[in-house]
Chain A
Amino acid sequence: MTMKYKDNPQAVADLVRPAEVHRDLYIDDEVFALEMKHLFASTWVYVGHESQVPNAGDYFATDVAAQPILLARHTDGEVYVLHNRCPHKGTKIVIDRTGNTGKFFRCPYHAWSFRTNGKLLAIPLKKGYKDTGFEQSEAGQSGLPPVGAVKNYRGFIFVRMNQEGISFEEFFGGSLSSLDNMVDRSPVGKLEVAGPPLRYMHNCNWKMLVDNQTDTCHPMVAHESSAGTAVEIWESIEKDENTKTPMAMEVIAPFMSPYEFFEDMGIRTWPNGHGHTGVHHSIHSDYSAIPGYLEMMVEAYGEERAKAILGENRHNTVYFPNIMIKGPIQQLRVFIPLAANKTLVESYIFRLVDAPDMLLERTAMYNRLINAPTSIVGHDDLEMYERAQEGLHSQELEWVNVQRLYDADEDLDEEAVENGTTERQMRNQFHAWKKFVVASMEAEARDLTDA
């Protein structure tokens, strides 16, 4: 197969226009390989939460940039993020998703062992390597290599696979306020992952999911079948003044809100592809108060600050490239790219430490009603993604449109708040996509020329 995009940053740059993107971003295997190498390796990607590895020796295994990675708690209390690959013959060191390895990792193939910070500890029958130059080999020097850089931000662990690149603070900038708000909702400023994540396989490109997070013109259409039916059933039920709206209705009914509701809620974008819906209000605004919670928050933060924390109702915050969080309900979804047409979605929920259990109950309900492979709202969405993934194979039309409320003067490197139905955040993501992919490809080309 001839390579159309590899070593051709200009061809890649041409795939992203200000208000439309080429279908190859979604369906082309070569573009997929390039974005793993150049986008996912050069930006800050979410790996896991520190509460998944509370004790020394605990580990958690996942994939970043289509590479096997593990997160381990070392004896010094630090969390290390390492390549899950034995330097000897390549065997993955752990394959269960979570566990405790004790004091060291031991490769199951030939028993090379490694400290939980990745350093090589011992090799059986080591004399066999004497005078072979083994110390100079890759295997002899590497242990389980750490990723390029790690940042633990208030318990959330992000990595940059490349050694060099943009700093964490510069990459995320003001967008960290959404993570802050989610953590601040615990009276002690602490979150814990609650149970395993939902794992939902999508036969579509990962960017379809990311685009959808700020797509405010689809809920009342695509989810009419679920949210609309819920509203109909609820309206047909006889009620009196004592009838309480069930939690499930509070969760699902706002999906049927009219366009004006979504227009007014606002969308904010930050540089580097981050943004959120629900600036002024959101589908999470009208949940009933949980008894005792506000009092706990006032006790912990003082009245003004407590009200400011709980007054934020940000809906979906996209942390480019591939996670979304919902601060008001403590949910985090990771869109793990597996192939151009395959994405694993993992949906995690968090317990607000020292807050009432009822909050976690609502969060767990939200997760299963909206994001489970058994969820009717999930079915509505996946049906659209998979239809789009197939439809994009038409040769007749080449572009995917993201022009709603586009303005030729728009500056995506500036933070902005706009009408909640704008596709500015989608444009922002593609702008960042192009910026990071092309910069990394050009840097690689320079390195090759220098060498």
Chain B
Amino acid sequence: MTLPTRDDLIDFVYHEARVIDEGRFDEWLELWGSDSYYWMPLDYQQDNPKNMTSLMYEDAFLRKLRVERLNGLRTFSQKPKSRCSHVLNRPSIEAFDPKAGQFITRTAVHYVETRLDDQFLLAATVHHHFEMVEDELKIKLKRVDLLNCDAAFGNIQLFI
């Protein structure tokens, strides 16, 4: 079995952000493993995605739904479309355990989203949990902790 290098993990995180910023969402969907989740907790240091509300907890079906909706003819909240930009700190490797198949990075992110005359900035800490699927690195869990998770937000329409 091919193993990832530490640089592979780091490069992946940068690549994923770029794919989102460039609106290549179909490609983004391919970056995920089989039983994978995109999780954005609502509570600070939330430890369970199921027994309370999260901002997002999305499996492959829900991620695909989002991406397809972005392109829909009658998706009025995306007429005109939103755009986003990620600024990433260099990801740190939090776990690198080939035996257990555990590969985790932590990345500090500043995220800007804009539509019409509005633009907002969010700061987040992002943990990527990876797995190897047929010799390819895939996301198993992406956990996005917003710095101000308890604040009231307007629409957040793209992916952090």
Contacts and interface: CB of A to CB of B under 8 A. Distances in A.
B65 A376 contact: yes
Contact of B52 (A202, A228, A364, A374): A364
* Chain B: interface size category: 20 to 34
A198 interface: yes
Given A226-B69, A344-B152, A361-B50, A379 B157 contact: yes
B55 A372 contact: yes
B74 interface: yes
B132 interface: no
A196 B43 contact: yes
Nearest to B155: A379
B156 to A, nearest CB: 5
Given A230-B65, A349-B52, A374 B154 contact: no
B61 A374 contact: no
B51 A199 contact: no
B119 interface: no
B124 to A, nearest CB: 12
Interface string A322-357: 000000000000000000000010010101000001
B150 interface: yes
B48 to A, nearest CB: 9
B65 A229 contact: yes
Contact of A368 (B51, B55, B65): B55
Contacts of B50: 357, 360-361, 364
A368 B151 CA distance: 15
Query: In terms of DSSP, what is the predominant structure of the interface of chain A?
Result: helix
A384 B121 CA distance: 24
B77 interface: yes
A248 to B, nearest CB: 6
A135 B136 CA distance: 77
Contacts of B55: 198, 368, 372-374
A334 to B, nearest CB: 12
A195 B42 contact: yes
Nearest to A387: B76
Interface string A41-84: 00000000000000000000000000000000000000000000
Candidate in B52, B55, B57 with the most chain A CB atoms within 10 angstroms: B52
A225 B61 contact: no
B55 to A, nearest CB: 5
* Chain A: interface size category: 35 or more
B53 A367 contact: yes
B152 A349 contact: no
Contacts of B51: 194-195, 351, 357, 360-361, 364
A246 interface: yes
A373 B76 contact: no
Candidate in B42, B50, B68 with the most chain A CB atoms within 10 angstroms: B42
Interface string B33-70: 00000001011001000111111110101101110110
A233 B153 contact: no
A277 interface: no
Contacts of B76: 222, 225, 380, 383-384
Contacts of A269: none
Given A199-B150, A225-B76, A229-B69, A368 B54 contact: yes
A199 B146 CA distance: 14
Contacts of B77: 225, 379-380, 382-383
A288 to B, nearest CB: 17
A203 interface: yes
B152 A200 contact: yes
Interface string A213-238: 00000000010111011101110000
B72 interface: yes
B52 A194 contact: yes
B75 interface: yes
A9 interface: no
A346 to B, nearest CB: 8
B42 A373 contact: no
B69 A376 contact: yes
Interface of A: 194-203, 222, 224-226, 228-230, 232-234, 246, 248-249, 344, 347, 349, 351, 357, 360-361, 364-365, 367-369, 372-374, 376, 378-380, 382-384
Interface of B: 40, 42-43, 46, 50-57, 59, 61-62, 64-66, 68-69, 72, 74-78, 150-157
